[in-house]
Amino acid sequence: MGGLAGPGFVLLSWVLFSPCLFSVDGLSKVRAVNLGGWLVVEGWIKPSLFDGIPNGDMLDGTQVQLRSVVLNKYVSAANGGGSNVTVDRDVASTWETFRLWRVSENEFQLRSLGGEFLTSNSEDGLILATAREPLSTETFYIERNDESVHIKLLNGGYVQEHRTSFITASDFDFLSRHGINTVRIPVGWWITQDPFPPSPFVGGSLAALDLAFSWAQSYGLKCIIDLHAAPGSQNGMEHSASRDGSVDWPSPEYVSQTLEVIDFLATRYGGHPSLLGIELLNEPSAATVPLDVLVSYYTRGYQIVRNHSTTAYVILCQRIGNADPIELFQAGIGLSNVVVDLHYYNLFDPYFASMNSTQNIEFIYKNRAPQLQALRDTNGPLLFIGEWVNEWDVQNASQYEYQKFGRAQLDVYANATFGWSYWTLKNDRMHWDFEWNIRNKYLLFSASSLLKTPSFLLLLALGWGTCLTIMPR
């Protein structure tokens, strides 16, 4: 990520404002809100979902080290997995660290550094780190007594309630009354096996998605289905349903399974009047997903959607991490209604940690704006800011500072040729919560404000000659 542009700029001229360069399915660009934490549960969005869970500190992905109280030695998978498990290490390191896959409050599977699961050899009683897929012989029962545990071989509705109450028809009514015309709905791959998805996933997401489409039709909104969690995980993060931080998606088997998910979604919703688009994959990791694998997947996914709809937008999410935003604009994927999705946060990077409010706002105008313009100049796919938020690392910022930061983002992201989508509708963290921002006037956005056409734009030239626009307040 580049630094701030140089301090010098030149006032060029005043020009008349053109409110809309492009119409999406009769809409004056997409103004969307994400329904995060609904069908793909994210603990940080609503932490109370996990209150009172037995062994709540032993959830999926928890890293544990096991030491024998008799031998005073650590359990170790030699070379990180692939052979026998021993109890002979004085000091714990990566070979002695295992990641939990939780089956129930007392039943767990343990994954080694190399990705193999601990398994029991019933013939001689050995424990091995050799299983590629966890089944019954890879599941252990953990009896816990404070910090001590006893591990045995496994021989011997709350989420549904969340789905029915977290997002309701009244939310669609609220959005439609406040200038939002689209919802972006994250889903997980297990939706194809609803109502009985494999453990640990909980059924009911497909019925909830059907309801969302019905509500959208009732309130005049469109829907973008976003495949947020692919088989094997495309980025190792919680929201991609990685159980332990692993990224296994690039394998041909998982890519093939993901295409089947896209076919399922396109078959079911391709003809629905509320469908605006299908996002083939959310936030693939640049560190673990090769560009050629991703482009191949996107190309095949595009064709699958086209088999069921000639008009649905096919949305391609940019890789996160060290990746050039222009890479998908140059990939030549698809012939019509193709959109590239970028996610913009002034967070999650040390670069933003010490910025004050003014510097954050300047970054939007001086860095984000010219990047969007450069991507627009490629004359490639449409451009979508699929995630952004009115939050930053600034401590004790005032309401007015938040308003200016939100206004800057709305100003600049309005230049995305497809539109934008706020993350997210509801969140226990206030500034991530779109509804809270609107009701408390931290984000000054409404249907009425969208109808007002500013008289002029102020053009500024940055030090290296790129122009950006700032709408007068």
Closest Cα partner for 171 from 40, 33, 43?
33
Pairing of strands 382-388, 338-343: parallel
- The CATH architecture of the domain made up of 63-153 is Trefoil (2.80)
Q: How many CA atoms lie within 13 A of 134 on its CB side?
A: 23
Q: Which of 94-103, 174-183, 226-235, 370-379 has the lowest mean pLDDT?
A: 94-103
What is the pLDDT, as a whole number, of residue 26?
59
Segment 434-444 shows an average pLDDT of 95
> Is residue 173 pLDDT above 70, yes or no?
yes
pLDDT in tens, 107-160: 788 888 777 888 876 555 567 777 777 776 777 767 666 656 555 444 435 566
Mean of the per-residue pLDDT values of the chain: 81
The yes-or-no verdict on residue 7 having pLDDT over 80 is: no
pLDDT, position 387: 97
The pLDDT > 90 percentage for the chain reads: 50
> Are 33 and 425 within 8 A, CB to CB?
yes
Alpha carbon distance 53, 454 (integer Å): 52
Comparison of pLDDT for 96 and 145, the residue scoring more: 96
Name the nearest CA neighbour of 34 among 193, 176, 226: 226
Per residue in 13-63, pLDDT tens? 223 223 333 456 556 799 999 998 889 877 767 776 666 666 667 777 787
* Fold equal for 10-50+159-470 and 63-153: no
Residues 6+ apart with CB under 8 A from 347: 389, 391, 392, 393
pLDDT band at 418 (very low <50, low <70, confident <90, very high): very high
Q: Which pLDDT belongs to residue 70? A: 62
Residue 252's pLDDT is: 96
Residue 313 structure tokens: 């937008």
What pLDDT was estimated at residue 419?
97
CA separation, residue 293 to residues 19, 251, 297 (Å)? 38, 9, 6
pLDDT at 471: 32
pLDDT at site 109 = 81
Say if residues 103 and 135 touch (Cβ distance below 8 Å): no
Helix (H, G, I), strand (E, B) or coil at 198: coil
Determine if the pTM surpasses 0.85: no
- At residue 464, the pLDDT reads 33
Share of the chain above pLDDT 70, in %: 78
Pick the CATH number of 10-50+159-470 from 3.40.50.2000, 3.20.20.80, 3.20.20.70, 1.50.10.20: 3.20.20.80
Q: Which residue's entry shows tokens 């252990």?
A: 140
Domain boundaries, the chain: 10-50+159-470, 63-153
Q: What is the mean pLDDT of residues 408-418?
A: 96
- pLDDT of residue 262 exceeding 90: yes
Q: Does the pLDDT value for residue 296 go beyond 50?
A: yes
